[in-house]
Amino acid sequence: MARASSKSPLWQGISDAAPFILVVTPFAIVFGVVATEAGLAVWETLLFSVAVIAGAAQFTSLQLLQENAPAVIALLSGLAVNLRMAMYSASLTPYLGKAPLWKRALISYLTVDQSYACSIAAFERNPDWALPQRLTYFFATCLPVIPLWYLMTLVGALIGESIPEGAALDFAVPITFLAIIGPMLRTPAHMAAALAASVAALLLTWVPYNLGLIIAATLGMVVGAQVELELTKRGKWT
């Protein structure tokens, strides 16, 4: 069993989320650059990040619009990529579901990959935390990440094409998700879902409008759920 930290939930949340600064910074800059190159004004780019606050969905929608995909497809694809937020919300509900309505609304807006990954791990490590401590921790994880996402999006939009091509800032996109997903692959169901989705995504690259990613994600969830169901049945039989 993991040992609980002696830090306060506030400082523990900030310190747990702080390493993501290294990948959020280039990730946001890349989005700012790509968005302005796609024709968005600086203020439109910043508003996009503030309103959506979901890098993967933003990149997906923007890329499809650049490829002249129908707006409906771009919107649906962005929503599909963000369906994982619904699973995040369901996972956080036992820990934060009794918060006042306005706090739950704020939590729903601030639930991103980093705040979720840090929070769910901390809540499992600290089962004795009361609701105020959990809320403090969750909001603390947002402090190093979300304002930085806004700021670096703006920086990327402003500097635009002045970034040298050799900078290769797009490395931040896959590294961000590897850093989040890697520690969460703790069970056979998790690993089966990740493997199935990865293989399917590679095999479905030919599907137009990046819809292969949506199919792959759906397949991964189905495989993961089926593996977990089978393991649960075997556990009951043994």
Query: Could you tell me the sign of the dihedral formed by the alpha carbons of 122, 123, 124, 129, in that order?
Result: positive
DSSP, residue by residue, 54-95: -HHHHHHHHHHHHTT--HHHHHHHHHHHTTHHHHHHHHHHHH
- CB distance 66 to 203 below 8 Å: no
- Residue 3 within a domain: no
- Residue 46 within a domain: yes
Residue % of the chain over a pLDDT of 90? 36
State pLDDT tens for residues 33-47.
888 877 889 999 999
Per-residue pLDDT, 151: 95
Same-domain status, 191 and 179: no
Per-residue pLDDT, 83: 75
Same-domain status, 90 and 162: yes
Chain-centroid distance, C-alpha 215? 18
Same-domain status, 157 and 83: yes
State pLDDT tens for residues 96-144.
999 999 999 999 999 998 899 999 999 999 999 999 999 999 999 999 9
Same-domain status, 97 and 175: yes
- Residue 1 within a domain: no
Same-domain status, 211 and 100: no
Same-domain status, 197 and 218: yes
- Residue 202 within a domain: yes
- Residue 25 within a domain: yes
Nearest Cα to Cα of residue 208 among 82, 106, 97, 64: 64
Same-domain status, 196 and 178: no
* Alpha carbon distance 22, 31 (integer Å): 15
Same-domain status, 62 and 151: yes
- CB distance 4 to 124 below 8 Å: no
Q: Which residue has the tokens 């990529």?
A: 81
- Residue 83 within a domain: yes
Q: Of 161, 184, 207, at which residue does a domain stop?
A: 184
Same-domain status, 123 and 232: no
Structural domain harbouring 146: 9-184
User: Over 50: is that where the pLDDT of 25 sits?
Assistant: yes
* Alpha carbon distance 94, 97 (integer Å): 6
Question: Model pTM?
Answer: 0.73
Same-domain status, 234 and 132: no
- CB distance 142 to 17 below 8 Å: yes
Same-domain status, 65 and 130: yes
Number of domains comprising the chain: 2
State pLDDT tens for residues 150-192.
999 999 899 875 666 555 555 555 555 555 565 556 678 778 8
Same-domain status, 53 and 35: yes
